[in-house]
Structure 1
């Protein structure tokens, strides 16, 4: 790969009794950030003014309603964010900003837009997912659940030994995670680079797909645009839409992932196709994910540890 050291190293799975419960509820009730937004004490008011006056945020004022500002404020209070930098990317669904985290660590702060998120596009991934029952018509609740879902999916993927950005904290519609590459030396998407050793790269990607499947997850939007390379590592990104293997559309999403990945590496000279990749990915049994809850049962709530 041009400009890279050309080695793709697999990470080891973390020891864990299980990867998560498919039927865990995703909590979208009011958080401390909502209470802070309502209370508006002096310190929060000062923080709110400072952020809204900051040059790097002025062009994106629509993203920062009071509840989102309160979520950022809470993340600062909790020590997850020390200082904010400029935007890394801006999109219809979310904006991502560079920030300084604890112990002078560079982190990414992903802020999902509640008002302008593509609710219709999310529906394919939400309908039939028991974690979203009862909130499918509430746009705000869906976006908040989507953010927590991405955090939970990243945690599960890392436990399975898939190289993804490390999730650090989640508050309302704001996700703090590891920053892979800096703004001035950003990680490149696989689609943007010349792959000099495609066989090795393909081996890593298909193994990561298999590990995700074994952990009960399907990425759902995997392609050369959601795989990045930095310092010789392949990193899987954008797991917000990832679904469990028992989702009604899981087979369709897996077929699409396999087709996209196989087509890309076929163009790089690798002898593969979507069917063979799917056979490899599904040659493992997914982790048991528990049983669906009784209609009136009390289920564990997915909360940050």
Structure 2
């Protein structure tokens, strides 16, 4: 494992974003395509269903999901679909080719299989989703749009995350970090040769997220990955704004998880000190 742990710097003059930004979760183009069901869409859906990599995964693909992929293809975000990178309880991730033949990851949330109550815990209290009702499909679509918005804000704050590219309904397209045959590794999977340096980067990323108005909410060695000597933060779907009623509880838990992991690796890490570092305001830094 590299001991570089490169740090992404914020762009000069860029605002981190307004934590009260509105996120539109009403019907989008994919929903309209699924309802219209024209001949071109039906042909596309049949081709996708007949593809070898999807024959055993029909639970992931309802008509609206096919419509979302169809719209992403029309918009040029996907030019060719590949096989699965990972399969999870709530979402599958596939490799694909995007614009200019670049490798991208396509994350598809299962609307019927997603943990509705788990998602509600993170959406309720977030001012961006006050109008979300109890419709399961709408909750999942809100979750995916939140993940896209959180990735955008984290990136503006100088946190290395997979670059978000596009979102439609329950489908998120983002940068593929590492090739499938040589995928990036989670910190839980590697031998951390320079834990003090890695810990400094992790805690700086946590502070940048906090100053951008976000708390990851599920940060641990399982969603920090290493790619080409650089730490990358993943899985920001559950990240909440600092105004969420459970934001402090989530942040305290993140601090415990990260500090305990790096303690086991031999770093000088402490949950309370980490919390103070993350929440210190910029005026304190300058003193």
Normalised to the residue count of structure 2, the TM-score between the two structures is 0.96
Does 2:232 align with 1:235?
Answer: yes
Q: 1:136 to 1:276 in 2, by over 3 A?
A: farther
Does 2:129 align with 1:132?
Answer: yes
Corresponding position of 2:206: 209
Q: 1:16 to 1:121 in 2, by over 3 A?
A: farther
Q: CA separation in 2, counterparts of 1:265 and 1:128?
A: 31
Counterpart among 65, 68, 72 of residue 69 in structure 2: 72
Does 2:217 align with 1:220?
Answer: yes
* C-alpha deviation, 1:23, in angstroms: 2.4
Moved more, 7-16 or 104-113: 7-16
**Pairing of 1:70-149 with structure 2 (within 5 A):** 70-149=67-146
Q: CA separation in 2, counterparts of 1:227 and 1:115?
A: 28
Q: Is this contact kept in 2: 1:126–1:136, CA < 8 A?
A: no
Counterpart among 152, 155, 159 of residue 155 in structure 1: 152
Does 2:161 align with 1:164?
Answer: yes
Partner SS for 1:248: coil
Q: CA separation in 2, counterparts of 1:248 and 1:152?
A: 20
Does 2:277 align with 1:280?
Answer: yes
Q: Is this contact kept in 1: 2:31–2:67, CA < 8 A?
A: yes
* C-alpha deviation, 1:38, in angstroms: 1.3
Corresponding position of 1:184: 181
* C-alpha deviation, 1:20, in angstroms: 2.4
Task: Give the gaps of 5 or more residues in structure 1.
Answer: 287-305
* C-alpha deviation, 1:138, in angstroms: 1.6
Q: CA separation in 2, counterparts of 1:102 and 1:123?
A: 34
* C-alpha deviation, 1:19, in angstroms: 2.3
CA displacement 1:111-153 (0-9 Å, x = unmatched): 1111110011112211211222232412111110110100000
CA displacement 1:36-66 (0-9 Å, x = unmatched): 1111112111110011111111111011111
Does 2:27 align with 1:54?
Answer: no
Normalised to the residue count of structure 1, the TM-score between the two structures is 0.90
Q: Is this contact kept in 2: 1:19–1:159, CA < 8 A?
A: yes
Task: Give the gaps of 5 or more residues in structure 2.
Answer: none
Corresponding position of 1:31: 28
Q: CA separation in 2, counterparts of 1:262 and 1:86?
A: 36
Q: Is this contact kept in 2: 1:146–1:240, CA < 8 A?
A: yes
Partner SS for 1:103: helix
Q: CA separation in 2, counterparts of 1:37 and 1:136?
A: 22
Partner SS for 1:10: coil
Q: CA separation in 2, counterparts of 1:280 and 1:19?
A: 19
Moved more, 154-163 or 33-42: 33-42
For the aligned residue pairs, the C-alpha RMSD in angstroms reads 1.3
Q: Is this contact kept in 2: 1:15–1:159, CA < 8 A?
A: no
List structure 1 runs of 4+ shifted beyond 4 angstroms.
none
Corresponding position of 1:13: 10
